[in-house]
Amino acid sequence: MNKVQLIGRLIKDPVLKRTTSGKSVCNFTLAVDRYGRDAGADFPTLIAWEKAAELLCQYSKKGSRIGVIGHIQTNNYTDADGKKVYKTDVILENLEFLDSKSTPEGAEDRLPNVSVTDEELPF
């Protein structure tokens, strides 16, 4: 099985490009926190195609928090110096925007402080 699920923030504004055949594509990088306190982050490269690429570029920017599901794809090529270069990307299959429209830019995600009595609970 080849499935990847990630939640992270875009490290720069996504840019929509077109292939020579006219397909929409967007290469982007996410900052994904590692599990555990102060464990650091990873920065995987992702590739979105067609409608997902267009939506990503239209509705997100540097710092936007997104969730993705995709699969890993590995490729290799020979660079200009004749060295073999290996590349691993995540090909996007599903995209979810996780930022709230009402959250001010730069604000941390917070749960509201709400008091609920036992009588108000539905169960």
pLDDT greater than 50 at residue 38: yes
| Number of domains observed in the structure of the chain | 1
Angle value at C-alpha 3, between 60 and 68, nearest 5 degrees: 10
Report phi then psi at 96, rounded to 5: -135, 130
Q: Is residue 68 part of a domain?
A: yes
Is 117 within the bounds of a domain?
Answer: no
Nearest of 5, 23, 1 to residue 67 by alpha carbon: 5
pLDDT score, position 107:
47
| Mean pLDDT confidence for 11-38 | 93
Question: Is 21 part of a structural domain of the chain?
Answer: yes
Give the whole-angstrom CA distance, residue 65 versus residue 44: 14
Determine, yes or no, domain membership for 116. no
pLDDT for 105: 52
In a domain, 105, yes or no: no
Residue 112 within a domain: no
Mean pLDDT for all residues in the chain: 86
User: Residue 16's domain spans which residues?
Assistant: 4-100
Model pTM score = 0.75
Q: Cβ(66)–Cβ(96) under 8 Å? A: yes
Q: How many CB atoms lie within 10 A of CB 120?
A: 7
Residues 6 or more apart whose CB falls under 8 angstroms from that of 34 comprise 40, 41, 42
56-69 residue pLDDT tens = 999 999 999 999 99
Whether residue 90 lies inside any domain: the answer is yes
Per the model's pLDDT, the better-predicted residue between 117 and 95 turns out to be: 95
63 lies in a domain? yes
Output 56 or 107, whichever has higher pLDDT: 56
Predicted pLDDT of residue 118? 55
Looking up residue 77, the CATH number of its domain turns out to be: 2.40.50.140
